[in-house]
Each structure stands twice: as C-alpha cells, then as structure tokens.
Amino acid sequence: MARRNKIYEGKAKILYEGPEPGTLVQYFKDDATAFNAEKRDVIDGKGALNNRLSEYFMTGLNNVGVPTHFLKRLNMREQLVRACEIIPLEVIVRNYAAGSLSTRLGIEEGTQLPRPIVEYCYKDDKLGDPLVTEEHIAAFGWASQQDMDDILSLALRVNDFMSGVMFGVGIRLVDFKIEVGRVYDGDFQRLVVADEISPDSCRLWDLETGRKLDKDVFRRDLGNLTDAYAEVARRLGVMPKGTTPMSKPTLIN
C-alpha cells in the first residue's frame, strides 16, 4: 500500500495530498481541543459527525451560490476538497452575545446583538488567535481591501444561510467561525469558504430549552459531546434516527 503524503496536521483535522492536482483529502479526527489546546480529549464519533455535518452545510452553501472548497465526501471520515491558500484569519460572525465577546465587553450571554457583528482573529496558535482590526490586516498584508470586501460578503451570506437552516430545525445560530481560502483559476483568484462548518466551529442553542449543542459542551464540561452533535445531525436528517455512527465495529458471533 502506498503511503499518503500528509500536507498538514491540525488539532482536529489532517490534510493529505488528493488524487488529482489541486485537490486535498480532509480527514476529520476524533480529537477535541479547547482553550488553545490546553484542554484536550479524544471523543469517539466526533470526526464522523463533523465530516457529515460539514458536508451538509458546505453542499447547501455551494447550492445557493456561496463558493466553498468542498467537492465530495469520500467516506466516514474524509472528504475531497479543493486545495486553497488559507488566509490567516478566523472570521467570526455573532448574532447573540456569547464566549469571548461576552467576556470582553461584559454583555450577558444570549443577549441579541443589534446586528450581526463580524470579527477577525489572526490565526496563530502560539499567540492564541488574537483579535485584530482591519488596520492590522491591511498593514501586515494578510488580505487586500478587495479580499476584505469579499470576506465580509461571504461571512454574511454564510450567516444568513446557516441561521435559516438552523432555525428550521429549532436551533439558534449564536455565532460561528469560518476560514477563507484563495483558489486560482488561471489569471483569476477567487475566495471560497474553507476548513469546516460544524458544531466545533459554531455555537448552537436549542431554541426552546437553550441546551447547548456545540463544542461548549466540551469546553465547559456540560455532558456528552457526541450526543449533542448527533442531535444536530438527527434534526437535519443527516443521520437516520437510531443509528449510532460512532459505535465501534462489533463482532457478530
């Protein structure tokens, strides 16, 4: 068997060289980390759930004309994506106060914001992904003004799409993070939504009970993470009722 060429290994995913030039295989690990990897664990089934959920959201975005890197799912843990050059920013959109915004500005979690707020963090684990302004982004050349206009428009379109999809299954999209990549088509450069969109990268609260159905369950020790992610998948019809995608292979006697 030929060994695959590993391009990059992050905290929750691995990128391998893809079958054709310009493609990569994105592998979803079961590893969970939080607080810049100070807290870590391996959570059975998380990778498979995020692979399915990210496929679902990225396919939906592609279908409504929001370009993403997603090409197709390959198996339980892997998807084929377009290779792109990741812009070193975490683009965060917030509809309700939570997490670091609540801490930073003293706004109670769950408070509805007057309008969606977009924030940028510089993607650097050593620095803990610090919040930056457009001044930093322009001065250090991380993205051009045209890129920033396109990134804002992508982020808000993702927000509209994701808010609608989640509302339809009784879930509030509190906030989320996306990463954006550049793909080159001949002389042209396009920006696409890259990385993943999953309960690892969003805050999702049940509309009626407020139950958290996202990575805060892990960050704040609120219970079983795969149960929460499986609930999101079940509501979206991504995982048929009663199946346990995370169960280990069992021997049949």
Residues near ligand ASP, by CB under 6 A: 11, 33-37, 215, 219
Considering only residues 7 through 26, tell me which ones interact with ligand AIR, judged by CB under 6 A. none
Q: 100 is in the binding site of which of ligand AIR, ligand ASP, none (Cβ under 5 to 8 A by kind)?
A: ligand AIR
Q: 36 is in the binding site of which of ligand AIR, ligand ASP, none (Cβ under 5 to 8 A by kind)?
A: ligand ASP
99 binds ligand AIR (CB under 6 A): yes
Pick the closer one to ligand ASP by CB: 46 or 147.
46
C-alpha 222/C-alpha 33 separation (Å) is 15
Mapping DSSP to helix (H, G, I), strand (E, B) and coil, where does residue 57 land?
Answer: helix
Q: Find the part of the chain contacting ligand AIR (CB under 6 A) among 13-21, 52-60, 95-103, 189-197.
A: 95-103
Q: 90 is in the binding site of which of ligand AIR, ligand ASP, none (Cβ under 5 to 8 A by kind)?
A: ligand AIR
Q: Please, which residues have CB within 8 angstroms of residue 6's CB and are 6 or more apart in sequence?
A: 14, 15, 16, 17
**CA 167-91-105 angle, 5° bins:** 85
Pick the closer one to ligand AIR by CB: 74 or 131.
131
The backbone torsions φ and ψ at residue 15, rounded to the nearest 5 degrees and listed phi first, read: -110, 125
**β pairing state of 85-86 and 89-96:** unpaired
Q: 60 is in the binding site of which of ligand ASP, ligand AIR, none (Cβ under 5 to 8 A by kind)?
A: none
Considering only residues 156 through 195, tell me which ones interact with ligand AIR, judged by CB under 6 A. 175-177
231 binds ligand AIR (CB under 6 A): no
Tell me which of 69, 73, 82, 215 binds ligand AIR, using CB under 6 A: 215
Secondary structure element (H or E) that encloses residue 60, with its range: helix 46-63
C-alpha 194/C-alpha 210 separation (Å) is 29
The percent of the chain in helix, strand and coil, each rounded to the nearest 5, is: 30, 35, 40
51 binds ligand AIR (CB under 6 A): no
The one-letter code for the residue type at 92 is I
Least distance (Å) between residue 250 CB and ligand ASP: 32
Q: 175 is in the binding site of which of ligand AIR, ligand ASP, none (Cβ under 5 to 8 A by kind)?
A: ligand AIR
Secondary structure (DSSP) of 141-173: TSS-HHHHHHHHHHHHHHHHHHHHHHHHTTEEE
Binding site for ligand AIR (CB under 6 A): 90, 92, 98-101, 175-177, 200-203, 215
